[in-house]
Amino acid sequence: MVSSGEARHGRLSAQTTCEQLVHPEPYDGKQAYRDSKQANLLYAQELHRRCASAASPVSVVAAHPGAVATNLFARQLDRAGRPRLAAVSNLATSVLLPSAAAGAGCVLMALDSSTPSGTFIAPSGRAQLRGRPKPAEIYPCCRNLATGERLWHLTEQVLDVALPPLASSRA
């Protein structure tokens, strides 16, 4: 499951409603991104707990790739009618940030079968912006059991289907 350092600023809670999750008002793109990344990390933790409880062999690992040199910022600036700032952004990100390939290191570590289920992989550098992949502490807002369970139930509500319970692998 891919998350982000922005998950720290998510506003999901055990009281989050389906409407707040799916159609937040007023809409704020940055906050929606933060909430979605918090949801990914919460969901990964809840799925990990459910798999462990069912003695399932499924491994659930979340990863935060850090800040990487992509055209994301430039594209947002260009769409906002700031093409000159977009060009500067492209140059700055290519000089200051690690490559997208380097950012993929965290995701690759998450996919490694030796990485334990429930682990969160993030860059080892300052503010988790760059650096070698390593297991990291899960942000406090993403460890809340009640919020993870609430997200699970909201997912069922949004999908209009009960997610099947995980069958025990000890059958």
pTM, to two decimals: 0.85
Q: How confident is the model at residue 143 (pLDDT cuts 50, 70, 90)?
A: very high
pLDDT tens digit sequence for 113-124 = 999 999 999 999
Residue 120 three-state SS: strand
Counting residues of the chain whose pLDDT is more than 90, the rounded percentage is: 70
Q: Strand order of the sheet with strand 133-136? A: 62-63, 120-123, 133-136
pLDDT of residue 167: 55
Task: List the structure tokens of 133.
Answer: 């992949």
Domains and CATH numbers, the chain: 5-159 (3.40.50.720)
